[in-house]
């Protein structure tokens, strides 16, 4: 049996740190609590760093809870690989006050992180990446991975969050929603300004290699990034946010008038495989959804549900990655009220699901090298 030492836990924390989080905020603060008696389990307590949350763009802390779920799943996968079983002991609070207690047990045989999903490894955690560059539609691997994820989610949904499903969204609905949701984010000065705080353009700054969305990851050409670095300062940010939203406000108004029309006609427009605007085959687009009634659950239990959803989101991305598929995430589609409700209408009308999207992403094969996202260094653990 593998002894649960501080050194081992620090290694597991380093693997878990590769977890995805909105804007790469990395909101988790893990803490190791060694077993106090031979009979009691070692524990890991995970809290939230309030400075690493997105109070404007993520007011209900849903993305925060999803990211915390991704971290728990990553830690569980890395621990399973070295023969340590991890279960959630408790989830208390929500948002910045969230606290997760994990109970660790060293087992004689290597446990699987989950018997419904493939046995992912720390190599899978290191390999997974979000790709914002051009993706290519890949039919067969997508069909295989999608079917496997659907099966695992249906089975794990019963054990964790009822009504969890992965649903493909037709290309025309995706494109319309994405255009509209993008304008929504830009036209709200406070959301835009908060996003700017997490963009990293200056390669010389320490934060460039630690957190946020770097110019490399966003695939912004170097000369443009250099200009952006000069503009994206704490003093100028509110001005840039304000000016952008003022310029886009009229567009936002026209959009809201159009929204009903888009929704009314979305069912009648073509198949998911119709050609995209640039002539290439369109990508597959997926939403992870939960039962709409689950959203009305109270604070702590809602946080727990979203943590389970975050675990399933990471498993889905890892499964796609095992089939050499990457994701391009567009949370704005589930954040913008109009596009969220357009997707919910589609789920109800075409799939009979009373559901809301909690994550939205396109899937395809990378066509260019994907720059590696940054992470904060993992603190040494003193036992």
Least Cβ distance, residue 295 to ligand FMN (angstroms)? 16
Least Cβ distance, residue 146 to ligand FMN (angstroms)? 19
- Residue facing ligand FMN at closest CB distance: 20
User: Using CB under 6 A as the criterion, which residues of the chain lie in contact with ligand FMN when the complex forms?
Assistant: 20-24, 63, 66-67, 70, 129-130, 132, 213, 329-332, 373
Q: How many angstroms from the chain centroid is the CA of residue 280? A: 27
Least Cβ distance, residue 129 to ligand FMN (angstroms)? 4
3-state secondary structure of 11: helix
Identify which of residues 22 and 294 has a Cβ nearer to ligand FMN in the complex: 22
Quick check: 329 and 150 in contact, CB under 8 A? no
**In angstroms, rounded to a whole number, what is the distance separating the alpha carbons of residues 26 and 105?**
26
DSSP states along 99-147: EEEEEEEE-SSPPPS-SSS----HHHHHH--B--S-EE--HHHHHHHHH
**In angstroms, rounded to a whole number, what is the distance separating the alpha carbons of residues 372 and 199?**
15
Least Cβ distance, residue 135 to ligand FMN (angstroms)? 13
Least Cβ distance, residue 328 to ligand FMN (angstroms)? 7
Least Cβ distance, residue 291 to ligand FMN (angstroms)? 19
Q: What is the largest CA-CA distance in the chain?
A: 66
How many other CB atoms sit within 10 Å of the CB of residue 322? 17
Identify which of residues 131 and 255 has a Cβ nearer to ligand FMN in the complex: 131
DSSP class of 353: -
Task: Render the burial of 85-115: b for 16+ CB within 10 Å, e for the rest.
Answer: bbebeebeebbbebebebbbbbeeeebebbe
Identify which of residues 346 and 361 has a Cβ nearer to ligand FMN in the complex: 361
Report how far apart, in Å, the C-alpha atoms of 48 and of each of 96, 167, 242 are: 5, 30, 30
Q: How many angstroms from the chain centroid is the CA of residue 246? A: 29
Least Cβ distance, residue 21 to ligand FMN (angstroms)? 5
3-state secondary structure of 47: strand
């Amino acid at each position: 049996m593998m002894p649960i030492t501080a050194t081992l836990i620090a290694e597991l924390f380093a693997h878990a740190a590769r977890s995805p989080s909105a804007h790469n905020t990395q909101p988790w603060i893990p803490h190791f609590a060694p077993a106090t008696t031979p009979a009691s389990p070692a524990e890991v307590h995970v809290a939230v760093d309030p400075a690493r949350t997105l109070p404007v763009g993520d007011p209900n802390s849903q993305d925060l809870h999803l990211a915390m779920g991704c971290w728990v799943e990553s830690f569980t996968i890395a621990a399973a690989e070295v023969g340590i079983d991890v279960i959630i002991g408790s989830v208390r609070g929500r948002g910045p006050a969230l606290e997760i207690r994990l109970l660790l047990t060293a087992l004689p045989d290597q446990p699987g992180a989950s018997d419904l999903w493939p046995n992912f490894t720390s190599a899978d955690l290191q390999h997974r990446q979000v790709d914002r560059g051009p993706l290519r539609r890949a039919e067969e691997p997508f069909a295989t991975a999608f079917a496997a994820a659907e099966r695992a989610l249906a089975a794990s949904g019963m054990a964790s969050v009822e009504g969890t499903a992965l649903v493909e969204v037709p290309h025309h609905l995706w494109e319309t929603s994405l255009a509209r949701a993008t304008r929504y984010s830009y036209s709200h000065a406070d959301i835009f300004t908060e996003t700017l705080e997490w963009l990293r353009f200056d390669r010389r700054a320490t934060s460039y290699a630690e957190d946020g969305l770097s110019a490399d990851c966003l695939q912004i050409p170097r000369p443009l990034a250099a200009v952006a670095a000069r503009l994206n300062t704490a003093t100028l940010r509110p001005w840039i946010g304000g000016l952008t939203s003022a310029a886009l406000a009229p567009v936002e108004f026209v959009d809201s008038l159009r929204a009903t029309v888009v929704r009314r006609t979305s069912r009648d427009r073509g198949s998911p495989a119709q050609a995209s605007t640039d002539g290439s085959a369109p990508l597959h687009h997926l939403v992870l959804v939960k039962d709409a009634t689950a959203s009305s659950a109270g604070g702590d239990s809602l946080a727990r549900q979203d943590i389970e959803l975050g675990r399933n989101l990471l498993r889905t991305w890892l499964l796609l990655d095992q089939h050499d598929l990457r994701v391009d995430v567009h949370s704005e589609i589930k954040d913008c009220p109009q596009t969220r409700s357009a997707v919910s209408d589609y789920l109800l009308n075409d799939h009979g699901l009373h559901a809301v999207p909690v994550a939205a992403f396109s899937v395809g094969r990378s066509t260019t090298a994907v720059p590696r996202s940054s992470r904060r260094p993992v603190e040494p653990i003193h036992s």
